[in-house]
Amino acid sequence: MKFTFSDEEEAFRAEVKEFLKDYQDLNGFFDQGHDWPSVREFFKAMAAKGYLSVCWPEEYGGLNKSASYEYIVWDEVAYARCARPPLGPGIVAKTIIRYGDDEQKKRWLKPLRDGEMHFSLAYSEPEAGSDLASVRCRAELKGDKYIVNGQKCWQSYAQDMDYFWLLCRTGTQESRGRGCSLMIVPKDAPGITVAPLPLMDDDQLNEVFFDNVEIPVNQRIGPENGAWKLMNAALADERHIQFPPSRLRRDLEDVISWTRDQGLLDDPVVRNTLGDLASQVLEGEVLGLSVLDAMMRGEHGVMEAAANKVAQTISCQNIARAVTEFGGPESLVKGTLSELIWRQSMWETIGGGTSEIMRGVIARNSLGLVAKT
C-alpha cells in the first residue's frame, strides 16, 4: 500500500510546479469567464509542455502517461487556482480517440492538443438537468447534414468557447438514453444564439438556442443514437480529475491565513472549527487518491468518484460557510476569498452531478438499495 507517488511522478510534479510559477496571478479557476484570453494563453503554454495531452497515446501526439500524471497536473493547477481542466483536450479528445474515425482524428486532435480549440459542454436543457435521458434538442438527418433545433441551458464558458459538444436527440423521445447522439458544433454556425445567464459568483452560464443549425454528418462522433455509451466512457476518463483535492487544501490554507490576519486564529471556537475542517481536507485528499487508484487498477471507479464528488464538494462548502460564520462581517466583504467561495461553492454540489444523484448512485450500486425516488 502506498499513498504517495513515485519518484518519476514527483519529478514531473516538480516540473509542473515550476511551470506554474509564471502563472501565480492567473485566477482562472474561479474567474475564467472574466479572463479567458489569459486562460487561453495559459492553456497554450500548457499544450506546449504536453500537459493537455498527458494521457493521450503517443500516436496522437500525447505523452502516453498513466492517469496519475494527469491527476498531478490538474491537482497542481487547481492548487495554483489557474484553471479547471478544459473540456476539449479532455472529454472531447478522448472520445474522438476512442470512437472517432480516422478523418475525425486527423481533423480535431491536433488543435485540441495544442490548446487552439475549446469546447463548451451542451448537455443540459431547461427540462433536462439531472435527467439527461430526457433531452429534447433534436437533430434530424437530411442528406449529409443534421438539422438541429432546440435549446440548451446552463452551459459553462459558452460565451468564450469555439465549439459545442452537443448531446441531441436523434431517436424518439421515448427511447430516452438510447436515442441520443453526440456532435461537434461550431459556435459560429448560422442559427446559433448564445444568451448569458449571469451568476451569483460573477461568472456566467449560458443558454444556447439552435434554430435550423446545419451540422455535417461527419461531425457526429460515434454511432447515431450511441451517445450514452460514449458519455459514460468519457465520464470514466475524467473521474480522477473532476474534483482535484488540492482545491480544498488551498481553500483551507487561504482561510487559515485570513483568520490569522484577523487575529482570530487563537480563538478556541475558531480553532475547533478549523481542526474539523482540516480533517475534512485530509478526507478529500484520500478520496481523490482512491478514484485515481481505482482507475490505475483498470476499474471504473464509479463508487469512488461518486463518494469523492459528494464529500469534497460538501467540504468545500463547509470551509466557505465556516469562515463566514466565525469571520463576521469582515468575511463578507467582496474581494475576500471567504466571500467568493461562499458564493462560488454553491455550484459545486450541483454541477457535474448533484449530491442527491451521487448519493443515489452509492445507495444503488454500493448498498443494493433501490432508492429510485
Partner 1 sequence: MSLDLTFSDEQAGILDAIRKFTKERCPGETVRELAGKFPTELWAELAELGVLPIATEDGGGGALEVVAAMEALGAAVFPGPLAETFLATQILEGDELQEVGAGESIVSLSAAPRGDALSLVPWPEQAKVSLQIDGTNIYRCKTVGSPEMVTSLGGDPYGRVKLERTGEVKNAARGLALFDIAVSAYMAAAGDDLVEVTAEHARTRKQFGRTLGEFQAVAHPLAESSIALSASRTLARAAACAFDEGRDDANGLAAGARLSARKSALFTVYASHQIFGAMGITLEGPVYHVSRRIRQLSSAGASVAVAHEEALALFGINAVSA
Cβ-based nearer residue to partner 1, 68 or 219: 68
Instruction: Measure Cα distances from 49 to 12, 14, 84, 94, 148 in Å.
Output: 11, 13, 17, 19, 37
Q: Are the beta carbons of 86 and 113 closer than 8 angstroms?
A: no
Q: By CB under 8 A, which span of 23-31, 34-42, 216-224, 303-311 interacts with partner 1? A: 303-311
- The rounded distance, in Å, linking the Cα atoms of 77 and 83 is 6
Indicate the pairing of strand 220-221 with strand 180-186.
Answer: antiparallel
The DSSP call for residue 109 is H
| Minimum separation from the CB atom of position 279 to partner 1 (A) | 4
Q: Which does 19 bind (CB under 5 to 8 A by kind): a second copy, partner 1, none?
A: none
Of these, 268, 298, 329, 335, which contacts a second copy (CB under 8 A)? 268
The DSSP call for residue 206 is E
Write out the three cell numbers for 347.
455550484
Of these, 41, 114, 116, 201, which contacts partner 1 (CB under 8 A)? 201
Q: Does the protein bind partner 1 through residue 354 (CB under 8 A)? A: yes
Q: By CB under 8 A, which span of 180-188, 235-243, 265-273, 360-368 interacts with a second copy? A: 265-273
| Minimum separation from the CB atom of position 357 to a second copy (A) | 16
Report the sign of the C-alpha dihedral through residues 30, 84, 158, 22, in that order: positive
Q: By CB under 8 A, which span of 22-30, 48-56, 164-172, 329-337 interacts with partner 1? A: 329-337
Q: Are the beta carbons of 170 and 142 closer than 8 angstroms?
A: no
Q: How many residues bind a second copy (CB under 8 A)?
A: 6
| Minimum separation from the CB atom of position 102 to a second copy (A) | 49
| Minimum separation from the CB atom of position 360 to a second copy (A) | 12
Write out the three cell numbers for 31.
474567474
What part of residues 106-165 is at the interface with partner 1 (CB under 8 A)?
124, 127, 129-131, 153-154
Q: By CB under 8 A, which span of 228-236, 267-275, 331-339, 348-356 interacts with a second copy? A: 267-275
Q: Are the beta carbons of 89 and 52 closer than 8 angstroms?
A: yes
Element (H, E) at 188: none
Of these, 252, 319, 323, 341, which contacts partner 1 (CB under 8 A)? 252
Of these, 14, 48, 269, 333, which contacts a second copy (CB under 8 A)? 269
Cβ-based nearer residue to a second copy, 98 or 271: 271
Q: Does the protein bind a second copy through residue 272 (CB under 8 A)? A: yes
Write out the three cell numbers for 130.
439531472
| Minimum separation from the CB atom of position 310 to a second copy (A) | 21
Closest CA to 135 of 163, 177, 164: 177
> For partner 1, what does the binding mask look like between residues 266 and 285, x meaning CB under 8 A?
x-xx-xx-xxx-xxxxxxxx
Q: Does the protein bind partner 1 through residue 289 (CB under 8 A)? A: yes
Q: Which does 359 bind (CB under 5 to 8 A by kind): partner 1, a second copy, none?
A: partner 1
End-to-end CA distance of the chain: 38
**CB burial class (10 A; 0-12, 13-18, 19+) of residue 202?**
middle
